[in-house]
Amino acid sequence: MPDLPRDLHGRIAFLAAPTEVAESARAHFTALHGDAAPEEAAVIVALGGDGFMLETQHRFLGRNLPVYGMNCGSVGFLMNAFHPENLPGRLAVAQSATLHPLRMRAVDATGTMREALAINEVSLLRETRQAAKIRILVDGKERMPELICDGILVATPAGSTAYNLSAYGPIVPLGANLLPMTPISAFRPRRWRGALLPSDAVVLLQILEPAKRPVAAVADNVEVRDIRSVEVREDRGLRMTMLFDPDHGLSERIIAEQFTV
């Protein structure tokens, strides 16, 4: 449970996605509870969908401000249900989930290194009709000399229910200290379905035949094209706190997702 002030009036920063529904909700809440500047707030309420939640987390990454999402979008896996009543009461009993992002270090064709953080996943994707060829090293040891595929991704536990799940990767519970690595349309070896790595693993993905088979790397919303190699590791020095209604926490949602048919 978060350590929030007893009186939250004027201590909540309301942020809204650029949609009519979210903006209307923001106007309603600010009229009732005031509206703090994010740098002075005790908690942030994000009004939108999962994409807006990720944008909000990226915006305040490093400050560890607790963020409570209310779904004004479509899927809303990372959000709480939208109810306009008793927001302070919901915040007072909310349960917290602490997440750590992935740090991507991508080297492009010019030798330039680009760094970015990912809350969901770091993915490598072929840029042309040619399948990618990728060498996989974990903690400096070669684990697969050549993977021919459309791409590959490394996900956080929270992100394991997103693109990773769509690529038939495993769902990982929070607190498992595991990172799923999942191929995207693997051609050779055809039956390889990926791996579960310890959360402190350092993954190095090297692009083979890059001139013929160009590959892009994507960390959430940051894309680096024509890469030569990508290092991925969990950044334990950064953390994010997300707030959820009791009995609907992120851990419960991840478990429930595994039984959805």
Task: Tell me the binding residues for NAD(+).
Answer: 50-51, 120-121, 150, 158, 161-166
Gap between the Cα atoms of 71 and 33, Å rounded:
19
Give which of 81, 58, 78 is closest to 70, Cα–Cα: 81
Residue carrying the six token digits 């790397």: 217
Residues forming the active site? 50
Q: Using an 8 Å Cβ cutoff, are 241 and 64 in contact?
A: yes
CA angle 172, 257, 249 (to 5 degrees): 80
CA distances to 9, 16, 166, 180, 210 from 188, rounded to whole Å, are: 58, 44, 20, 19, 17
Summary count for the chain: helices (H), strands (E): 5, 17
CA angle 151, 156, 162 (to 5 degrees): 65
Q: Beta strand pairing status for 227-234 and 113-118?
A: unpaired
Which residues does the annotation place in the binding site?
50-51, 120-121, 150, 158, 161-166
**Distance in angstroms between the alpha carbons of the first and the last residue of the chain:** 31
